[in-house]
Amino acid sequence: MEAPATKELTAFEKEVKKGLTQYPKKIASKFIYDKRGDELFQQIMAMPEYYLTNCEFEILQQNCDEICAVFDDKNGFDLIELGAGDGKKTKILLKKLSQLPTDFTYLPIDISKNALDELKTSIQKELPKVDIQVQQGMYFDVLQQFENYTNRKKVILVLGSNIGNLMHSEAIDFLRKISKSMNKNDLLFMGFDQKKDPEKILNAYNDPNGITEAFNKNLLLRMNKELQANFDLSTFKHWETYNPETGTAQSFLVSLVQQEIELKKLKLHVELKQWESIHTEISQKYDDGVVEWLAGKANLHIEHIFTDAEKNYKNYTFRK
Ligand code: AVI
């Protein structure tokens, strides 16, 4: 007899099923980003408390000539960006690079076709000299295709301290995958938010207007919309912590009441005790020693370090 057809669970469904039936409860932050999550993150980046964006902007602006000189190669190069977003920061570099005699191609990789289409339109309008070839897909599937794409130098760009949303073991894995795709002459340029006054960090993830709260609670909304769940958002409190010893900021949603949640699509009932938490995100902060250690584990070494006036944030270049 044929086995009954079982419907494959999506990555989100698997994560929710596992994350809400384990203790402590946890759902990975990458699932915050649907259309609304993307919009809320854009709002976060525009908040005065969220210093990361302005710091990286300042670094790219102040060190633009030097950074472009490090990227440059007499035989031309491919500039591959993982998670380009709206490209606001990258455009600083692209503008300068397009004024150099060097031939380069800009290859932004993103999972969202929409984001890539918008980026392409705006680059073609603002910087018509830039050769842009968008690549839709998962970072590492696309990076793998580039391993022997051309024999030109590859410059891999990862802005926004996105690595900070990974635990150290995952970050090493991430760096190893990038490192594997690199040859001797290739370069990795990556942003890492730095350890600093704990109050400044807490304020960046705990804004008084509740944008970060709405961003975290978007996980609950997504479960309501996509998994026919019945979370009442008002029964959860967003709670942020920062541990200066480990450099880890952590976000939680804490249940204000004892409750039972039904997720109809998963045929799942979940009990939450009063004050029980769902862990939603880590935002790791670094210092040079930790970055050097992570890079070393991935067979990479630091070549240059660029920072802002207050040393809040750093962009590093790495080579194999
Ligand atoms: C995308 N990532 C680097 C952001 C961060 O700073 O961890 C996500 C974020 N979460 C809350 N605010 C911003």
- In the prediction, which pLDDT does 146 show? 78
Find out whether the beta carbon of 307 lies less than 6 Å from any atom of ligand 1. Answer: no
- In the prediction, which pLDDT does 148 show? 72
Task: Tell me the pLDDT tens digit for each residue of 236-267.
Answer: 999 999 999 999 999 999 999 999 999 999 99
Centroid of ligand 1 to alpha carbon of 122 (angstroms): 24
Q: Strand, coil or helix: what is 151? A: coil
**Alpha helix segments (H runs only) across 205-318:** 211-226, 288-297
- In the prediction, which pLDDT does 149 show? 73
Its ipTM equals: 0.99
Best CA proximity match to 17, nearest among 38, 3, 31, 4: 31
Report the atom number in ligand 1 closest to the C-alpha of 215.
11
Nearest alpha carbon, ligand 1 atom 1: 162
Q: How many helices (H) and strands (E) does the chain have?
A: 11, 14
User: Which residue numbers in the chain have pLDDT < 70?
Assistant: 1-6
Centroid of ligand 1 to alpha carbon of 67 (angstroms): 25
- In the prediction, which pLDDT does 254 show? 98
The answer to whether 273 touches 235, Cβ cutoff 8 Å, is no
Q: CB neighbours (10 Å) of residue 53?
A: 18
Find out whether the beta carbon of 85 lies less than 6 Å from any atom of ligand 1. Answer: no
Task: Tell me the pLDDT tens digit for each residue of 145-154.
Answer: 877 777 899 9
Nearest alpha carbon, ligand 1 atom 3: 162
- In the prediction, which pLDDT does 287 show? 98
Sign for the pseudo-dihedral over CA of 271, 275, 276, 277: positive
